[in-house]
Structure 1
Amino acid sequence: WSDLGRREGRTPPRSKSFARCLLIMELDIRFFFFLL
């Protein structure tokens, strides 16, 4: 996680929010499959 935070610090805000959106989507998909 620390490596991810370091890499995220170098990226512009737009890609940072995009990466956060992808992370939230991945967690939602995992939760969905967990309910199945």
Structure 2
Amino acid sequence: MQISSRLKKLILVFLGFLIMLFGKLVDGWVGR
């Protein structure tokens, strides 16, 4: 199953966004 480069890039950006959001969430939760 071949994944197009555009889709792969989109997934990478989405993953980065999720990680950033999760990091902010954890930072806010720990720094309470």
Q: Which TM bucket (shorter chain)?
A: 0.7 to 0.9
* CA root-mean-square deviation: 1.2
Q: How many residues align?
A: 28
Question: C-alpha separation between the residues in 2 aligned to 1:19 and 1:35?
Answer: 24
Q: How many percent identity over aligned positions?
A: 11
Among 21, 24, 31, which residue is 2:16 paired with? 24
Structure with bigger helix share is 1
Q: 2:26 aligned with 1:34, yes or no?
A: yes
* Structure-2-length-normalised TM-score: 0.76
1:13 alignment partner in structure 2: 5
- TM superposition outliers: structure 1 runs of 4+ over 3 Å: none
Relative contact order (C-alpha < 8 Å, sep 6+): which is higher? 1
